[in-house]
Amino acid sequence: MSVATLPIDYTAIKQRQRAVWSAGDYAMIGTTLQIVGERLCEAVDMRAGSSVLDVAAGNGNATLAAARRFARVTSTDYVGTHLERGKERAAAERLSVDFQEADAEALPFADGSFDVALSTFGVMFTPNQEKAAAEMARVVRRGGKIGLANWTPDGFIGQVLKIVGKYMPPPGGIKPSTLWGTPARLRELFPGCEINSTVQTFTFRYESPEHWLAVFRDYYGPTNRAFAALDAEKAACLEADILDLLEKSNWDRSSTLVIPGEYLEVVITKT
């Protein structure tokens, strides 16, 4: 059997991914993205009393947004520390949420258990995209909705991930995560469903390019692990490449950093 035809070891890949997303402290990044979860709940027309599953929930942006609308929310992630951060936030707001460790590619729920499934910048990073999409569709009832927020390939974070990928190439055979940010790929992943998508922008606002880099180097798993794995020379090159992108993308040339981050907001209706 040639290397090209070897089966993909998703279990090993997922173990490495879990280590990546456990690194740093994603909650320090995630809390700044809260507005995305609020927008997504409006996009799916969230109703009070709806049963909602947040998949690859991170520290719970979509979870909290749905709970604030009096939905019955189950928040899941395969990194337990992310869920702990979500629990802290829910407790601070006195919101009732169920938290459960779960793999997005093997959700421990019966078919049609939920009215709505959500994921903001989470499920898109699963290695087996087809399996993750099928699981989300499976646990949603017929007529229910799946709401997604996915970084686009050519948006700011898509470009950051491409730069990181130059220094830390992804495993062979794995499709780029940012394909979830394209309508064509979503049609492949959710065949037979009604899919509506719109391009949205989340604006990154930091003190400076150097401040953005310091925060993401410390707290964002992919960049944190990349810098930790590289020798000093390659780490310096990665830093220079990211700073160059930050400078070119910055809309505020005077003092701070203001960068529009393009993402695809998706509402899928299960038919």
Q: In the chain, pLDDT over 90 holds for what percent of residues?
A: 89
- C-alpha to C-alpha distances, 183 to 11, 180, 267, nearest whole angstrom: 28, 8, 11
Cα distance between residue 164 and residue 194, in whole Å: 34
3-class state of residue 51 by DSSP: strand
Average pLDDT of the segment spanning 222-233 = 96
Contacts for 7 with CB less than 8 Å, ≥ 6 apart: none
Give yes or no for residue 253 having a pLDDT over 90: no
Choose between 18 and 156: higher pLDDT.
Answer: 156
Q: In the chain, pLDDT over 70 holds for what percent of residues?
A: 98
Q: Which of 25-29, 186-190, 217-221, 252-256 has the lowest mean pLDDT?
A: 252-256
- Delineate the domains of the chain, giving CATH numbers in brackets: 9-203+261-269 (3.40.50.150)
At residue 5 the predicted structure's pLDDT band, cuts being 50, 70 and 90, is low
Give yes or no for residue 214 having a pLDDT over 60: yes
pLDDT at position 63, please? 98
- C-alpha to C-alpha distances, 146 to 43, 167, 179, 208, nearest whole angstrom: 10, 34, 17, 36
pLDDT at position 8, please? 86
pLDDT at position 142, please? 98
Q: For 48-101, how does the pLDDT look when each residue is reduced to its tens digit (9 = 90+)?
A: 999 999 999 999 999 999 999 999 999 999 999 999 999 999 999 999 999 999
pLDDT at position 6, please? 65
pLDDT at position 1, please? 42
Choose between 255 and 97: higher pLDDT.
Answer: 97
At residue 208 the predicted structure's pLDDT band, cuts being 50, 70 and 90, is very high
At residue 203 the predicted structure's pLDDT band, cuts being 50, 70 and 90, is very high
Amino acid, res. 101 = E
3-class state of residue 92 by DSSP: helix
Q: For 72-83, how does the pLDDT look when each residue is reduced to its tens digit (9 = 90+)?
A: 999 999 999 999
pLDDT at position 77, please? 97
Q: In the Cβ-directed half-sphere of 39, how many Cα atoms lie within 13 Å? A: 18
At residue 17 the predicted structure's pLDDT band, cuts being 50, 70 and 90, is confident
Average of per-residue pLDDT values in the chain: 95
Q: What is the pTM of this model?
A: 0.94
Give yes or no for residue 14 having a pLDDT over 90: no
Instruction: Tell me if 124 sits within 8 A of 151, measured CB to CB.
Output: yes
pLDDT at position 3, please? 47
Cα distance between residue 271 and residue 269, in whole Å: 6
At residue 254 the predicted structure's pLDDT band, cuts being 50, 70 and 90, is confident
Distance from the Cα of residue 157 to its chain's centroid = 11
